[in-house]
């Protein structure tokens, strides 16, 4: 039995997210598993590094699966990219140690979120950035970013209800890069809770608009109450850049 690791890029616009759904074929996992069945003749469930929401994109999602096929990794990659939809691409195929697990072995992830900050929307970027027409106070947003770096209980910045699992995560880096009229938010950490990046971005935007004060970061980290934070921004401007092992 071989253990195969995939590095995957996809445009999530047409899909209901990563996780396979029993009543729909519009998921990334479902599309890849269908092609694996064609390629190997085996019914296989792939393991992803984590779920991405409906509409979210990826530059470097990672998954693995076990197979008896004798195809070379080069032949597998060719097969994937011939039969997958054009908005899903397998960038790399590697044979890895049997113990490798795409989810449990992940040590960190990097996400990007893009905001088009101009009174006039962008026709070309509309599917991959969130339009904010009003000016944003970059300095206040950067001050808020500094407060979020480190190890905290981020449940107040997530869509999770009560859970027995730990909601403490470490954000190693959080920057806002100015690329003309586009703001590029970069989140790097050891893991992220459900919708955490989108809620953090929404909170930072409301701080930039003057709707919330920078102190809201400390308040939510202390209160752990979701409604005290900002809005959840749309998924279409979110990218999973890479998974670290």
* pTM exceeding 0.75: yes
Region for 8 from its dihedrals, namely left if φ exceeds 0, alpha if ψ lies in -120 to 50, beta otherwise:
beta
Give the model confidence (pLDDT) of 102-111 as tens digits: 999 999 999 9
Catalytic (active site) residue 53:
yes
Choose, from 53, 153, 181, 241, the residue flagged as catalytic.
Answer: 53
Reply yes or no on whether the pLDDT at 32 is more than 80. yes
Does the domain spanning 108-244 belong to CATH 3.30.70.660? yes
Structure tokens at 189: 């950490």
In which residue ranges of the chain is CATH 3.30.70.660 found?
108-244
Span 113-137, mean pLDDT? 97
| Residue 157: φ, ψ to 5° | -110, 35
Name the burial class of residue 177, with classes exposed (0-12), middle (13-18) and buried (19+) by CB atoms within 10 angstroms of its CB. exposed
Q: Give one DSSP letter per residue of 117-184, joined into a string.
A: -SSS--TTTTTTSEE--S---HHHHHHHHHHHSEEEE-GGGSS--S-SS--EEEEEEEEEEEETTEEE
The domain defined by 2-96 folds into Alpha-Beta Plaits (3.30.70)
Give me the chain's average pLDDT, please: 96
Query: What DSSP state is assigned to residue 24?
Result: B
In which residue ranges of the chain is CATH 3.30.70.580 found?
2-96
Opening angle at CA 194, ends 162 and 55, nearest 5: 145
Give the model confidence (pLDDT) of 68-103 as tens digits: 999 999 999 999 999 999 999 999 999 999 999 999
């Amino acid at each position: 039995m071989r253990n195969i690791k995939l590095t995957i890029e996809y445009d999530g616009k047409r899909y209901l997210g990563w996780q396979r759904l029993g009543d729909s074929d519009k998921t990334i996992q479902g599309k890849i598993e269908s092609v694996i069945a064609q390629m190997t003749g085996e019914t296989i469930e792939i393991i992803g590094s984590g779920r991405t929401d409906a509409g979210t994109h990826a530059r470097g999602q990672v998954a693995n699966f076990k197979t008896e096929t004798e195809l070379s990794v080069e032949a597998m990659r060719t097969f994937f990219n011939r039969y997958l939809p054009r908005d899903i691409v397998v960038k790399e195929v590697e044979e890895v140690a049997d113990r490798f697990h795409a989810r449990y072995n992940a040590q960190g992830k990097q996400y990007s979120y893009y905001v088009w900050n101009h009174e006039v929307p962008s026709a070309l970027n509309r599917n991959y950035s969130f339009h904010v027409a009003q000016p944003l106070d970059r300095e206040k947003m950067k001050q808020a970013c500094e407060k979020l770096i480190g190890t905290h209980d981020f449940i107040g910045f997530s869509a999770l209800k009560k859970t027995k699992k730990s909601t403490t995560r470490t954000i190693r880096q959080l920057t806002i890069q100015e690329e003309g009229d586009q703001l590029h938010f970069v989140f790097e950490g050891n893991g992220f809770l459900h919708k955490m990046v989108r809620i953090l971005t929404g909170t930072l935007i409301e701080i930039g608009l003057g709707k919330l004060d920078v102190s809201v970061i400390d308040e939510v980290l202390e209160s752990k109450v979701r409604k005290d934070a900002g809005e959840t921004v749309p998924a279409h401007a979110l990218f999973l850049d890479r998974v670290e092992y």
